[in-house]
Structure 1
């Protein structure tokens, strides 16, 4: 015993089950599993939310550019190739550049009308900045030939309009034609050449793609003018840094935006949901910590005679306090370790566990006909694991303070009066 610290040795002895305190040991075990359950739930839920965020981010940025440079006014850029060369010459991580022309329009087919966002693209280089070519259900980007006035529609938009490949639709833009009979809205009959599905409601339900020359002609833009250029970079999270590097090189009248600014509200909402879930699930660990308090209070009451004897043998109040802090901390440490192992194991295998449960019970948690994501994604973040472990250990340690202080204040004479 001389090689073991006294508080640790006695605290470890008190943690073991005795014949007369099985109920206390049961509460200790319950507290330990409560902490393990809370830690496991926190790691798993946050990993799943990280997986959803990553999946949605990749799908969104599969269509939206990482960085966008555009010109002020309706005339747009006079020579986008010069701007593209300027961007490429800047020491950044640019991997793709493509021009665009975009605007709002009303899409009509028979008696159906829907507001849409149309975007003119160059089908030869659009794949450098967008994944729409990889998500075509029918047709291809090469069907958008200049002068043909073909369009590609999102899957949901095509269903809402009741059109299939080969049907004619009318595109009405919010600009007017002045004719001898008065002012008439500008419109153009176009042919549906293909249908795409990228898995994001924002694009599948309202986006219309056409050739960039046809879009510029529809808006009556000057020849060779575009609204801006879309830029794709190597690391999407470096978009703000790339934007700051480019902004000093841009001529007057040109502006730059990155995806973190354009979709800030969306990702801010996801971050807030993760924070709320972290707080809510942390309450499980908090409840288990309260169980540690009740366990130690009962142990202190049960061990008053032992405490008195230790005090008469020379143990200081700090030693008594350390004994019960050790006992409570051991519950927290073992519960946290068990939860970390269970949470990490579950988070790393949730993508295989959930399909097995679905197959075993013949259920489907995420129906592909209702949700855009049919599989439950998971991405384990080791920073989350570290923070959860620290939180659990801290709550367990704090839970030992009150019972330990109460034990330290035990008066030997009072405790031994009736012994």
Structure 2
């Protein structure tokens, strides 16, 4: 109480109005409305934090599966080949963010088996160094990634691609390349037979259904080039890929094309970001509804406290001081609701792996079937900037809700308010 007594009188009166009144049922009802406002803001804030955390979790899951076969950054030479790729790799490694590098050749072809045709992105890699930039070797379901030997013309297929072609280990597939060759009969497409030496599953359908790996020397023969196309790089923090790509572009010598993974997957990345922003806007409306409850409770408080306002005015309180009293009351409600919502949202987000299974057992349902979604648990990734942004938005909305009722209180005329007292 000593701390409260040291506050300006506007704060003391505002905090007193926030507490439940005991003089009448009307005061208690107004305080009950204030409590509902606190609960509404808390639920809105908690819902927003939980939903964004789950969205971040799903986004991280998908991104991790994408980047298990994709590199964070790709570096190409404008000439189309990079014969000095080892020197380029050492040059890139001078950036402290770069953890590993590997050369590659990438082309597109049509895989054919018994009349079934499927398009495929064919990536030529060095099995010994591919672990520096991807985890595809750990995702092999059958065969071995090390079976990719130079001149063997073995191929490792995505699980969905192999199933679509109806092939298994040791089967032959024919690759039809886009580049044709001139024969006496005219231009005909080039073909090459490959042996299935492995099947991988990244858990991302777009790659499992369209990606295949061959040895880099076999890919160079297919492309009729003498060197790799470029380098694939892995960095410490995938979120810094655009920044690191710009640094590499500026620091590495030569005419290079540097692409980061958000740029390579621009459509997906933009769709996810747009979805997250729209969800933020939609769920913020819950907090806005709670702010409307705050407006109504303050208006009722102003109506009930007109006699108190008149007495304060006659004692010398300025309209600004009266306005400050009710803004303090509304701000306290908003801050309490925000703090409660943040605590609830953070607590649920960090323990969603326990809460969701409990609800599934309680209701006898399964929210995520592993056969369909490839994951059986609801992921959650709590980002501090999201929590801070939500908290700020909530407090600002609550503060904005206090402006009109507080202004109306400052306009109360003492003579009219005390006429019937």
- Per the normalisation by structure 1, the TM-score is 0.92
Which stretches in structure 1 are left out of the alignment for 5+ residues? none
Query: What is the CA distance between 1:339 and its match in structure 2?
Result: 0.7
1:42 equivalent to 2:45? Answer no
- When residues 181 and 406 of structure 1 are mapped into structure 2, their CA distance, relative to the original with a 3 A threshold, is closer
* Aligned twin of 1:122: 126
Deviation digits for residues 138-178 of structure 1, max 9, x if unmatched?
Answer: 11211112222211111111122222222221111112233
* Aligned twin of 2:231: 229
1:375 equivalent to 2:377? Answer yes
Answer whether contact 1:92 1:242 (CA < 8 A) is retained. no
Query: What is the CA distance between 1:230 and its match in structure 2?
Result: 1.3
- When residues 77 and 318 of structure 1 are mapped into structure 2, their CA distance, relative to the original with a 3 A threshold, is closer
Deviation digits for residues 215-261 of structure 1, max 9, x if unmatched?
Answer: 22223323xx2211212223333433443343345554442222233
Query: What is the CA distance between 1:85 and its match in structure 2?
Result: 3.7
- When residues 324 and 86 of structure 1 are mapped into structure 2, their CA distance, relative to the original with a 3 A threshold, is closer
- When residues 415 and 83 of structure 1 are mapped into structure 2, their CA distance, relative to the original with a 3 A threshold, is closer
* Aligned twin of 1:175: 179
The aligned runs of 1:311-330 (5 Å cut-off) are: 311-330=313-332
Query: What is the CA distance between 1:284 and its match in structure 2?
Result: 0.9
The aligned runs of 1:10-49 (5 Å cut-off) are: 10-15=13-18, 16-18=20-22, 19-21=24-26, 22-49=28-55
* Aligned twin of 1:293: 295
* Aligned twin of 1:161: 165
> What is the DSSP-based 3-state SS (H/G/I as helix, E as strand, rest coil) of the residue aligned with 1:17?
coil
Pairs aligned (count): 415
- When residues 230 and 384 of structure 1 are mapped into structure 2, their CA distance, relative to the original with a 3 A threshold, is same
Greater mean deviation of Cα atoms: 132-141 or 255-264: 255-264
* Aligned twin of 2:206: 202
RMSD over aligned Cα atoms: 2.1
Deviation digits for residues 5-53 of structure 1, max 9, x if unmatched?
Answer: 3223322332313332133222212111100001101111122222222
Which stretches in structure 2 are left out of the alignment for 5+ residues? none
Distance 1:259 1:312 in 2: 68
> What is the DSSP-based 3-state SS (H/G/I as helix, E as strand, rest coil) of the residue aligned with 1:369?
helix
* Aligned twin of 1:365: 367
Distance 2:7 2:181 in 1: 93
Distance 1:27 1:330 in 2: 14
- Per the normalisation by structure 2, the TM-score is 0.92
